[in-house]
Amino acid sequence: MQIPPFSLDEQISEIGDEIEEALIRVFRSGKYIGGDEVALFEKAFASAIQTSYSVSCNSGTDALILALRSLNIGEDDEVITSSFSFFATAEAITSVGARPVFVDIDPKNYLMDLGLIEKAITPRTKAILPVHLFGHPMDMDKIMAIAKINNLKVVEDCAQAAGANWRGKPVGSYGDVGCFSFFPTKNLGAAGDGGAITTNDCDLAKTIRELAIHGMPKRYFHTKIGYNSRLDSLQAAILNVKLTRLNKWIEKRNTIAINYISKLSTIESIELPSNNLINNSGHSWNQFVIRIMDNSFVENIKSIAACDFDHQNRDLFKTELHRLGINTIIYYPIPIHLQPAYKDLGYKEGSLPVTEKVCTQVISLPIFPELKSIHQSYVIDKIKEIYKK
Ligand SMILES: *Cc1c(COP(=O)(O)O)cnc(C)c1O
């Protein structure tokens, strides 16, 4: 048996015909930039996220850059965020000239530790950039309260959290701007790159739209140095088909996640994702991330000969799953503050101890809406065997 961490095969057979029809329609129209599909998508996406405006762009990374630029965040400014995220979160901050200031995470949910945010605020702090990592919503009531007291902007990184909500209200509708990615492995994935920004602020939406198209409010009249960052009409056509299924897909992810949690909860040496949200879910389960807490399984694994005993327990566990046909991914093996590209920021090993520890323990189990229950049962059974006493 071979189980992938993520697969689009089933989804392609389910909605392939509908998507191909849409693609042919757009291709034959000869209009590839802007047009009805993009306008339709922006309207539908704003409605899904419950904001007044949505502006599409080329990627989640661009969405973050455009959001920061529209809020005039740049040189000499600091933005508070998490080092336990995809690199683009910090990359966007640096590319507008600002400085990322990382706070450590809460080991229960892998999100920025709410108790540490205020300690990181300096006179240069302009914004908080919460990351709804793996689809787990941050406590946006607390974030917005901290931002309000300290007069800070809030840019939400919702790249992994399309369809997630905090207390029933979608993420991306709380902050000044919400930033989404339609990279193919995200919950709402295009067939290529894509992104969007959500906001309730009419002026911000207008500024973002101008920045995304060369700072050009009128044809060949440029008021800002902007970017070329658009969502292709072909991608918009695909997203229009997929958006109507997003909630159904998240329900399926939720069922899979709850099943993992209930079946794996007897294993003491595995830390499961925090389940304080389960009843009132809100999690979009883009990833199902567990932590391998010790080496209690080592005697049971068969691939040990092929492994080096000095490896981290997590890596041994991953190798054994791989031997059994279960393919997993590590999100993320190295925290952003220890990436070579950021050596000049002044962080060292030990700067963010929880983040650094968690990076050595995490492993993402297969999760996607079409994951077959026999495949999930196989994953669960094999993990139980690995931990059998
Ligand atoms: C995917 C991702 C991004 C970047 O999105 P792209 O569309 O790939 O540019 C940013 N932040 C997080 C947390 C992500 O997972």
pLDDT at 244: 97
Tell me yes or no: is domain 9-103+110-243 CATH 3.40.50.10490: no
- Return the CATH superfamily for domain 246-387: Aspartate Aminotransferase, domain 1 (3.90.1150.10)
Give me ligand 1 centre to Cα 291, in Å: 22
- Residue keyed to tokens 């450590």: 104
The stretch 17-37 carries a mean pLDDT of 96
- How far is the C-alpha of 175 from the C-alpha of 153, rounded, in Å? 7
For residue 73, report the distance from its CA to the centre of ligand 1, in Å.
Answer: 19
Task: Give me ligand 1 centre to Cα 29, in Å.
Answer: 31
8 A C-beta contact, residue 161 and residue 135: yes
Q: What is the pLDDT of residue 16?
A: 96
Residues 6+ apart with CB under 8 A from 119: 103
Task: Kindly give the distance from the C-alpha atom of residue 59 to the centroid of ligand 1, in angstroms, as a whole number.
Answer: 8
Q: Is 128 left (phi over 0), alpha (psi -120 to 50) or beta?
A: beta
Domain boundaries, the chain: 9-103+110-243, 246-387
**CB-count exposure of residue 78 (10 Å: 0-12, 13-18, 19+):** buried
Question: Is pLDDT at 302 greater than 80 in this prediction?
Answer: no
Answer for the pair 359, 292: CB distance below 8 angstroms, yes or no: no
pLDDT band at 94; cut points 50, 70, 90: very high
- Asked whether the predicted pLDDT for residue 378 surpasses 60, the reply is yes
Radius of gyration of the chain (CA): 21
Across 266-278, average pLDDT: 82
What residue spans of 50-111 are helical by DSSP H? 60-70, 88-95
Give the pLDDT band of residue 297 (cuts 50, 70, 90): confident
Angle at 289 between CA 354 and CA 239, to 5 degrees: 120
Q: Choose one of 89, 94, 134 to mutate for the ligand 1 pocket test, by most ligand atoms within 8 angstroms of C-beta.
A: 89
Which residue ranges have their beta carbon within 6 Å of ligand 1?
Answer: 59-61, 85-86, 88-89, 131, 157, 159-160, 181, 183, 193, 195
**Which residue's alpha carbon is nearest to atom 5 within ligand 1?**
60
For residues 12-31, average pLDDT: 96
Q: What is the pLDDT of residue 256?
A: 96
How many angstroms is it from 178 CA to the middle of ligand 1?
Answer: 12
Q: What is the pLDDT of residues 314-339, one digit of tens each?
A: 999 999 999 999 999 999 999 999 99
Instruction: Catalogue the E-assigned strands of the chain.
Output: 53-57, 78-82, 99-103, 125-128, 153-157, 165-166, 169-170, 177-181, 195-199, 270-271, 288-292, 362-365
Q: Which atom of ligand 1 is nearest to the CA of 160?
A: 15
Q: What's the mean pLDDT when you consider all of the chain?
A: 94
Q: In this model, does residue 70 exceed pLDDT 80?
A: yes
For residue 92, which atom of ligand 1 is closest to its CA?
10
pLDDT of residue 311: 61
pLDDT at site 281: 66
Percent of the chain with pLDDT over 70: 96
Residue 368: pLDDT band (50, 70, 90) is very high
